[in-house]
Amino acid sequence: MSTSRTANLLVELFVEELPPKALKKLGESFANVLADSLKAQGLAAADAAVTPYASPRRLAVHVSAVADKAADQPVQHKLMPVSVGLNAEGQATPALLKKLGSLGLGAEVVASLKKLPDGKAEALFIDTVKPGATLADGLQKALEESLAKLPIPKVMTYQLQEGEGEGFQPGWTSVNFVRPAHGLVALHGELVVPVATLGLKAGRDTQGHRFEARVSPVVLRDADSYAAQLREEGAVIASFAERRAEIASQLAAAAGRAGQHLKPIEDEALLDEVCALVERPNVLIGRFEEAFLSVPQECLILTMKANQKYFPLLDTEGKLTHQFLVVSNISPSDASAIIGGNERVVRPRLADAKFFFDQDRKKTLASRVPGLAKVVYHNKLGTQGERSERVRAIAHAIVNQLRMATLPFAVDDKDHFDVLDSKAQQAALLAKTDLLTDMVGEFPELQGIMGGYYARHEGLRDGVAIAIEDHYKPRFAGDALPRNHTGTVVALADKLETLVGLFGIGQLPTGDRDPFALRRHALGVIRILIEKNLPLALPELFDAAAAPFGELIERPTEALLGFFGDRLAVSLREQGYSAQEVDAVLALQPPRLGDIPRRLAAVRAFAALPEAEALAAANKRVSNILKKAETAVEAQVDAALFKEPAEGALYEALQAVVPKAQAAFEQGDYTASLQALAVLRAPVDAFFDGVMVNADDAALKANRLGLLATLHAAMNRVADISRLAA
């Protein structure tokens, strides 16, 4: 009996330059899908080591301990009921013989059939063996599956120039793939696996670096020599992770050579993209004229990163220097030509940025306001000019809500709020005007940032420039919040205008589609309200934001409350709170989101008490009883109607506990408010042990329900603690 041969497997697809922003995902997908398919077919163990490789011109994977043939698998086939397959004499019927024939079996196997229970009757079964897949067949299937599932951003169609088969004509057979493919390697140990795809037959030859490979082609000895041969003979670091680490190391070393305490800008996406552009990195130092540093550094950094893929160098204070790092794909003995070329290329880019900056400052932001009336925001919601007026109205309403809040906000005096209102109105009016500037037209990512620079250049009063710059914040998860009160008000107004307007015309996110980033806007509002502990309630904010739209929209307050609840729940769970803790707090729909962290802390502290489990279960029981009541139950109790000692004992306990819990609640000490309830465990347990709530006497029943309603109100002021019950 022959045994299968096990060896490591290497598969490489050699192609033209792959899209750099997609390379990392393409490499991971190619490796994982191919390896998973081999494992599913029994050709590789579930714990087989999988090593992906991805460079600008190749996708590859190394899988350990792959068999050249999978083990045979026993299979039991159900044929048919015994009464159908065998006649009265126990002989095979024509129906059974036909069924066996479809399986490639004859009448000689009838004697080996098994009779096994199948429901109320017996059925005939036969045991067969399914041959295990050969590596050639299994790898062919895995390769096709891997290519079919590649997350290709955009497919190319190209014609094969070489091929086999009768009637093949070069240039007439089309192939669809991410880039034209030119080579396929499939090595099982030192042996080539005969597979084919994209018009290519597998071999052992691949190509190294376009300019610096020592040999061409690189002839691979076996699967395990792949990475080493490519590095030594082909001048290619095949592993994406190794190449990325090498670039990061060289960037840090070059920054040290450029000057003491300098460091390259941190940008993970840029590092990934540059890693996908080079096969063997060589980091060099370039410089530009210091005169360009008069331009806002965000402009210079963006043009260097986005257009040139450079890493600007920053000093210890985070300020841009006149030096930058280039990641070259070649390593000549004299790199001066490469450095000089990059310096010449970047100079006109920086000159353009300086020109835009100088030209933009010739017009004030206020002079650009009328131009917003010509910029369409949304065909159902009007222009950016109309939008700015709505944001101003919402900002005014937010300031008034802060002015009237029962909890103090900043300095509680009339002058403060009048000044805040005036600043917010001015910032909201000017916030979108930088959309009309040349700089933002060239670099849309700088909107808000450039408005802040231009406002400071004009000498606008303190706080307004910062508010214009910050009104988009937070732009992404983990981003900073607006730095001052004016920016906070305008940022809230801007996000609320977007959310209310788009929800009001039915433009809701669906599945993965969220073209207007409404989930991000909602999380931004949530973060501002919670982290700045603002005394503002969501329903009132939504109503205030809807008012300036007039008849343009349907008021979406209820839909937005549900949307915010979902986003808030997800965010809190991501921060480490349990689903039970989050559900307990959000079940009450606290209007002030700033309360939520303290409520969650109180619930967590309460859940740690020995009485918590019993009280949560009792609260759940009380909730169910009150829900089943024929009419709404009011929290009213007549002590004169008590019949059982447990009723009076619970009532007295509530009389003692409720004032303490209420006082702590009103002071914002939610932990103390919940913990005061711990003493209720014994009287609550005694009540349910000794009192029949649904008494025959209607007055007695109503009084007992009123007592439970009083208990329910006391226990669920901070959170719905029934959600903590198992």
Q: What is the CATH number of the domain that holds 720?
A: 1.10.730.10
Regarding whether 499 and 398 lie in a shared domain, the answer is yes
Q: Is residue 156 part of a domain?
A: yes
Predicted local confidence at residue 3, as pLDDT:
66
Domain boundary among 360, 387, 415: 360
Provide the terminal-to-terminal Cα distance of the chain, rounded to the nearest Å.
57
Question: Counting every residue, how long is the chain?
Answer: 726
pLDDT digits (tens, 9 = 90+) for 179-226: 999 999 999 999 999 999 998 999 999 999 999 999 999 999 999 999
pLDDT digits (tens, 9 = 90+) for 360-414: 999 999 999 999 999 999 999 999 999 999 999 999 999 999 988 766 665 444 5
Report the distance separating Cα 10 and Cα 6, nearest Å. Answer: 13
Domain boundary among 331, 360, 389: 360
As given in the structure block, the two tokens for residue 578 are 């349990």
In the block, residue with structure tokens 């691979």: 220
Helix axes 23-40, 268-275, angle to 10 degrees: 70
Q: Which residue, among 537, 521, 603, 522, has the nearest Cα to 568 in the 3D structure?
A: 522
Share of the chain above pLDDT 70, in %: 96
Please report, for residues 129, 148, 698, the alpha-carbon distance to residue 641 in angstroms, rounded to integers and kept in the order given. Answer: 80, 76, 11
Regarding whether 311 and 178 lie in a shared domain, the answer is no
Regarding whether 344 and 472 lie in a shared domain, the answer is no
As a whole number, mean pLDDT of residues 285-299 equals: 95
Q: Are 556 and 506 in contact, with CB atoms under 8 Å apart?
A: no
Report the distance separating Cα 359 and Cα 439, nearest Å. Answer: 9
Please report, for residues 371, 384, 430, 433, 542, the alpha-carbon distance to residue 374 in angstroms, rounded to integers and kept in the order given. Answer: 6, 8, 15, 12, 28
Q: Which domain holds residue 678?
A: 602-724
Lowest mean pLDDT among 66-70, 105-109, 570-574: 105-109
As a whole number, mean pLDDT of residues 626-640 equals: 77
Regarding whether 527 and 402 lie in a shared domain, the answer is yes
Regarding whether 179 and 191 lie in a shared domain, the answer is yes
Regarding whether 304 and 159 lie in a shared domain, the answer is no
pLDDT digits (tens, 9 = 90+) for 112-171: 888 898 888 889 999 888 888 899 999 999 999 999 999 998 888 888 766 554 455 665
Domain boundary among 211, 232, 253: 232
Regarding whether 562 and 436 lie in a shared domain, the answer is yes
- Chain mean pLDDT for the chain: 90
Regarding whether 165 and 94 lie in a shared domain, the answer is no
Regarding whether 224 and 144 lie in a shared domain, the answer is yes
Q: Is residue 171 part of a domain?
A: yes
**DSSP category for residue 46:** T
Regarding whether 169 and 200 lie in a shared domain, the answer is yes
Predicted local confidence at residue 308, as pLDDT:
93
Predicted local confidence at residue 647, as pLDDT:
80
As a whole number, mean pLDDT of residues 26-38 equals: 96
Per the structure, the count of domains in the chain is: 5
Scored b (16 or more CB within 10 A) or e, 611-648 reads bbebbbbbbbbbbebbeeeeeebeeebeeeebebebbe
Predicted local confidence at residue 110, as pLDDT:
83
Question: How many Cα atoms are found within 13 Å in the side-chain-facing hemisphere of 632?
Answer: 1
Q: Which residue, among 404, 427, 407, 403, has the nearest Cα to 417 in the 3D structure?
A: 403
pLDDT digits (tens, 9 = 90+) for 599-618: 998 889 888 888 888 888 88
CATH number where 419 lies = 1.10.3210
In the block, residue with structure tokens 């024509």: 94
Q: Is residue 565 part of a domain?
A: yes
Q: Are 130 and 186 in contact, with CB atoms under 8 Å apart?
A: no
Handedness of CA 251, 256, 258, 264 (dihedral sign): positive
Phi/psi region, residue 449 (left: phi>0; alpha: psi -120 to 50; beta: rest), is alpha
Report the distance separating Cα 432 and Cα 350, nearest Å. Answer: 25
CATH number where 48 lies = 3.30.70
Q: Would you say residue 645 has pLDDT above 50?
A: yes
Q: Is residue 365 part of a domain?
A: no
Spell out the SS3 assignment of 50-110: EEEEEECCEEEEEEEEEECECCCEEEEEEEEEHHHHECCCCCECHHHHHHHHHCCCCHHHH
Q: Are 25 and 152 in contact, with CB atoms under 8 Å apart?
A: no
Higher pLDDT, 228 or 419: 228
Query: 635 — phi, psi (to 5°)?
Result: -80, 65
Regarding whether 118 and 139 lie in a shared domain, the answer is no
Q: Is residue 593 part of a domain?
A: no
As given in the structure block, the two tokens for residue 439 are 């700089």
Q: Is residue 639 part of a domain?
A: yes
As given in the structure block, the two tokens for residue 18 are 């792959």
Angle, CA of 38, 41 and 44, to the nearest 5°: 45
Q: Is residue 582 part of a domain?
A: no
As a whole number, mean pLDDT of residues 591-604 equals: 88
- The confidence band for 313, taking pLDDT boundaries of 50, 70 and 90, is very high
Instruction: Say what the pTM is.
Output: 0.80
Q: Which residue, among 383, 382, 376, 424, has the nearest Cα to 400 in the 3D structure?
A: 424
Predicted local confidence at residue 665, as pLDDT:
87
pLDDT digits (tens, 9 = 90+) for 79-108: 889 888 889 888 889 998 899 888 888 888
Q: Is residue 370 part of a domain?
A: no
Report the distance separating Cα 447 and Cα 431, nearest Å. Answer: 9
Return the CA Rg of the chain.
36
Regarding whether 465 and 544 lie in a shared domain, the answer is yes
